[in-house]
Amino acid sequence: MILYLVVVALTGAGVYAASTDAREVALLLLAVSGFMHTLFNKPRALCGRARWGGCEVVLASPYARPFGIPLEWLGAAWFAGALPLYHLGFGHAWGFLGLLIVAVLVGIEIKLRTLCIYCTVAHVIGVITAVLLLGL
């Protein structure tokens, strides 16, 4: 979280949000909420023992740690990069990458024949953030 706050401070987002359009304020809020959700929520606490049972299946799958890195860290990194990369002119590419990743992750859930509500919340926040990055 400290790294994200440093990045936000370096891009001037805290001050910039006061004099910017609604899209950029929404992007800031969504990026922070997505970052916080992916890094600090515990899937087991959010999912519990839901009848779809998806969280445990997803967390135990080999897809939960690509390259040995937990997916929540990768998700947090994507959200942390959203606003700085938007300001550097890479918003479209970052948004497209986010949509592509969500499509792959939903495909994995379909392949596993399960639904992880924790993942779904992150996917929804990610899609909305990506749409803002793409300017749609």
Q: For the chain, what is the domain count? A: 1
Q: Can you give the pLDDT of all 136 residues of the chain as single tens digits?
A: 445 444 544 454 444 444 456 666 666 666 666 666 665 556 555 555 555 566 777 778 888 888 888 887 888 888 888 888 888 899 899 999 999 999 999 998 888 888 877 788 888 888 988 888 888 7
**Residue type for position 101:** I
Sequence-separated contacts (24+) of 11-16 with Cβ below 8 Å: 11/83, 11/84, 11/87, 13/83, 13/87
What's the pTM value of the predicted model, to 2 decimals? Answer: 0.69
Q: Distance between CA atoms of 112 and 126, rounded to whole angstroms?
A: 21
Residue 34 belongs to domain with CATH number: 1.20.1440.130
Radius of gyration of the chain, Cα coordinates, nearest whole angstrom:
15
Measured CA to CA in angstroms, residue 63 lies from 8, 49, 57, 68 at distances of 30, 21, 10, 10
Domain limits at 98?
2-134
Dist CA 61 CA 69 (whole Å):
13
